[in-house]
Amino acid sequence: MCSSDIKRDTSIDVKRAQRSVTLEEALVCTKFGKFNYLITIISGVILSTVLLETLGISFIITNATCDLLLTTQEKGALSAIAFAGIISSSHLWGFLADTKGRRKIIVPALFITSVCSLLSSISNNFYMLVILRYLCGFFVSAGSATIYAYLGEFHDSKTRTRSVMGASIVFGFGCMTLPLLALICLNQEWQFYIPVIDIVYKPWRFFLVVCTLPSILCAIALYKLPESPKYKYSKGHHDVTILILQQVYAFNTGKEPDTFPVTKIVDESETFKKKRVESSDCSDDNNKSIMKLCRKVVDQTFPLFKPPYLNRTCIACILQFGIFVTSNGMYMIFPDILNRIADYTNKVQNGTEAVTLCQVVEYTTFDVGVLENNASATIEQCNQKLDFSTFKNSMMLEVLYAVGFSIIGALINKVGKLPILVFIFFGCGISGIMSVFSTVQLAIILYVILLCCGLTIAVVNAATVDLYPTNLRAMAICLSLMSGRAGSVVGSFVVGIFIETSCNATFIGSGASLIACGVLSFFIPNIMKRKAESSCSTTEKDPETAENEDVTNF
């Protein structure tokens, strides 16, 4: 409606008519260009910060075990606690993002995440560390789900899925920094004592500091970008929406903002106006009472659990739960298991050829209780460094993620989401089951493939974005990812506890859950469609006040 097909008309009257369009058509008029690439990259880096803050702990568990005298249960709790923080706040961030604005919520949350992470690096006991890592998860959650809605709302229906997958590609490359940072930071021998807080500052503490730096950079970058135009429009700020779209257009084309070929955005239905008035009345009351605020949270969430969205919400939540159980739960022990295999190989010449992965885990298990009163045992059994093979295999996993996201991004509009989901779920699930029956070297490869199930997270998110209108989208994604984080907590804690006592069952259970997710994928509504619908989210939403600084900061 905006480009060549409109420009075929030569009369001035037709050109004027072009200036009054729907928001979806106005987004097409901004042209896909530099701004879209920029916001896609920033969104991908924000997703990477979530990984650094939550999964980075998996690399320090081996190093911190002796310093903090971590038991098996405590290591499981430490692995899961950041995800528990994400779960407890996902609903809150979804509500705030839908009522206060996407960008306005993400920026301060990222700054607070960095403060909590910096403090966690100087923890002198398990309880202080676990509380601060919980807070890191609590605040970093604001970006983990809301950023999908923020990114998607700068794109029209034809480019929305591709942009989400583009951010996932950046995320895949960002994931590669985790083992690289671990290799650079952890395998050093320096240390110094800080008497004020009674800790020995070691490389694993510095690693936590390095992992939080992207959060600070992303918060600064996002502060300079505008608020979502769809969010502003849904709140009734049509003039601000036009200003945002003008600046996006100018950034993409290099032309002056006032040459943007749209001067008015029209509502697609009277329903939008009605909902906006109703929501506006409600938002005025929200400031008067906590009970009314809680009621609005319920009102914002309730539509997701009744037709026509109930079925969609349940499927999205179950899929994300199943994915995260394995992708995060099994990943938290990945560096530790790789390091155990390396230790076993060094102690038992050629011993890995005849044994399975779980036999190695059993052989390398030791009781941390002997470390409390036995200094010599500390020197003998505590690994202050990670074997190079740990970083090599971790890097291989991240490369597979980067390549996988790139392939998915290229194919998703051509083959559709369903074939991709089925292929990954079944492939990873079968690999997980086969890993317990294979020799160690083959099992490592199968283990890496098992963890590639995380590639489906972005595909499910892309499907979820297309299933809901604007006023429910952020909440829907937050709820589905909250379910996924619940899977992370369950997976991390259960795997941490049972990997040493029921190793075979742990791997088989993870693989079987992925196969079940593959079957469930067939029931996602409209999953067979290869292109996003052109109708969509510009006609519905919930309002509230916002400020013009969202535009002027850009």
**How many domains does the chain contain in total?**
2
CA distance 188 to 202: 9
State whether 34 and 137 are in the same domain. yes
The residues, any chain, with a CB within 8 Å of residue 368's CB and separated by 6 or more, are 65, 69, 70, 71, 72
- Tell me the backbone φ, ψ of residue 38, rounded to 5 degrees: -65, -50
Spatial contact of 341 and 357, defined as CB atoms under 8 Å apart: yes
Q: Indicate the pLDDT class of residue 290, thresholds 50, 70 and 90.
A: low
Which of 447, 420, 466, 461 is CA-nearest to residue 320? 461
What is the DSSP pairing of strand 192-194 with strand 199-201?
A: antiparallel
pLDDT digits (tens, 9 = 90+) for 377-431: 554 556 567 778 888 888 888 888 888 888 888 888 888 888 999 999 999 999 9
**Residues with Cβ within 8 Å of residue 554, at least 6 apart in sequence:** 224, 225, 226, 244, 247
The verdict on residue 511 lying in a domain is: yes
Question: What does the pLDDT average to over 432-441?
Answer: 90
Asked whether residue 339 falls in the same domain as residue 249, the answer is no
The helices-and-strands tally (H runs, E runs) of the chain is 26, 4
Residue 466 is assigned to a structural domain of this protein: yes
Q: Which amino acid, 199?
A: I
Extract the tokens encoding 8.
Answer: 């075929």
Domain that holds residue 406: 301-366+384-528
Quote the pLDDT of residue 349.
Answer: 57
Query: In the chain, what is the straight-line distance between the N-terminal and C-terminal CA atoms, in Å?
Result: 27
Q: Does residue 513 form part of some domain? A: yes
The Cα–Cα gap between 332 and 476 comes to 27
The DSSP symbol for 1 reads -
Q: Extract the tokens encoding 467.
A: 């299933």
With a CB cutoff of 8 Å and minimum separation 6, the contacts of 61 are 70, 75, 78, 79, 332, 335, 336
Same domain (yes/no): 349, 237: no
- Quick check: is 550 in a domain? no
Last residue of a domain, one of 241, 267, 293: 267
Report how far residue 383's alpha carbon sits from residue 282's, in angstroms, rounded to the nearest whole number.
58
Three-class secondary structure of residue 265 per DSSP: strand
Tokens describing residue 419:
């074939």
CATH number at residue 256: 1.20.1250.20
- Residue that is last in its domain, among 219, 247, 267: 267
Task: State pLDDT tens for residues 448-497.
Answer: 999 999 999 888 988 887 788 877 777 788 788 778 878 888 888 888 88
More confident position, 485 or 207: 207
Angle between helices 72-99 and 57-68 (to 10 degrees): 140
Mean pLDDT for 76-81 is 86
399 and 477 inside one domain = yes
Count other Cβ atoms within 10 Å, centred on residue 285: 12
Give the pair of three-digit tokens for residue 259: 């040459």
Residues 235 and 337 both lie in one domain: no
Q: Are both 253 and 340 inside the same structural domain?
A: no
| 250 HSE (CA, 13 A, CB side) | 11
